Amino acid sequence: MHLKITHKTIYNYDDTIQDLTQYIKLYPSKHKNIKIINWNLKVKDSTISNESIEPNGDKVIICHSNNLIKKSEIIINGEVKTKNNLKQEILTGYKEKINPIVYLRTTNITSITPKIKTFTNNAICKINKKDKLSLAHTISDNISKQLSYTKNFSKEDTTSTQTLFSKKGVCKDYAHLLISCAIYLNIPARYICGYLYSPDEKDEATHAWVELYFDNLGWVGFDPSNNCFVNDKYVRVCSGFDSYDAAPIKGVAIGNSSEKLDVNINIRSMSSQQ
């Protein structure tokens, strides 16, 4: 698919911010199933002090701003082409330095509790195939069927166990739960942040899904909130152990002003217009 993406993030402040440092990971991941035609990221009234590639392959820039009056703006205009082919859910040609076994680590959000173990065991107990890929697919399917997609319900730090109790959440909550279940089964799992093109506009433009590692395949993308594998409608941006670790924007501000976040994202398919 040929996708055009515009993404504007605005932080509005009541009072002047004396100093602001932002850590930004908002660049498409480079791999064999995507061609980045152009990608322009601007941070208004800010100086880029450092640009680097992290060990997990994420591109990151560090921006510094002084004496911001009203707001900080991060603006993206980009175009990419994604490939629709067999096994597109497998991340191929992606350069990183981290051993997959590192992603057997859990966090406070993805910790493995008795509730997680019971849910996982009940999900896989009746299936005949016991290979890890089949187990992962079964768990993802169960998560999709048992949770109800509910906006404005969960919090930033809602754990996967809390999501199991409430059976409600958004894409990040589905992703956290799949990560917990996978790690319980000794399958390396990581949280992915990116864009999802949804022509019916029922899904969020910014999206979260999961990559699971299998020895014979590599990293495979699962989207439990849509009950599918990753395909050409997905644009991978960055990864981490959970939503906090994979956050595409982090910042440290000096000042006493309150902050209000405003995000506007538009994703268009240029393929349908050609």
Give the largest CA-CA distance in the chain.
Answer: 62
Tens digits of per-residue pLDDT, 69-109?
678 899 999 999 999 887 889 999 999 999 999 999 999 99
Average pLDDT rounded to a whole number, residues 208-237: 96
Query: What is the DSSP secondary structure assignment for residue 32, as one 8-state letter?
Result: T
Average pLDDT, the chain: 92
Domain boundaries, the chain: 2-82+248-273, 100-240
Whether 256 shows a pLDDT value over 60: the answer reads yes
- The structural architecture, per CATH, of the domain 2-82+248-273 is Sandwich (2.60)
218 sits in the region (left: phi over 0; alpha: psi -120 to 50; else beta) called left
CA distance 184 to 230: 22
Whether 47 shows a pLDDT value over 90: the answer reads no
CA distance 222 to 224: 6
Query: What is the DSSP secondary structure assignment for residue 133, as one 8-state letter?
Result: H
pLDDT band for 272, please (50, 70, 90 cuts).
Answer: low
Q: What is the pLDDT at residue 98?
A: 96
Q: What is the pLDDT at residue 15?
A: 83
**β-pair partners for 71:** 12
Pick the CATH number of 100-240 from 2.60.120.10, 3.10.620.30, 3.30.450.20, 3.40.190.10: 3.10.620.30
pLDDT band for 38, please (50, 70, 90 cuts).
Answer: very high
Tens digits of per-residue pLDDT, 140-155?
999 999 999 998 889 9
Whether 65 shows a pLDDT value over 80: the answer reads yes
CA distance 245 to 261: 19
Tens digits of per-residue pLDDT, 187-212?
999 999 999 998 776 555 689 999 99
Whether 178 shows a pLDDT value over 80: the answer reads yes
Whether 233 shows a pLDDT value over 60: the answer reads yes
CB atoms within 10 A of CB 226: 22
Residue with tokens 């392959």: 57
Q: What is the pLDDT at residue 270?
A: 87
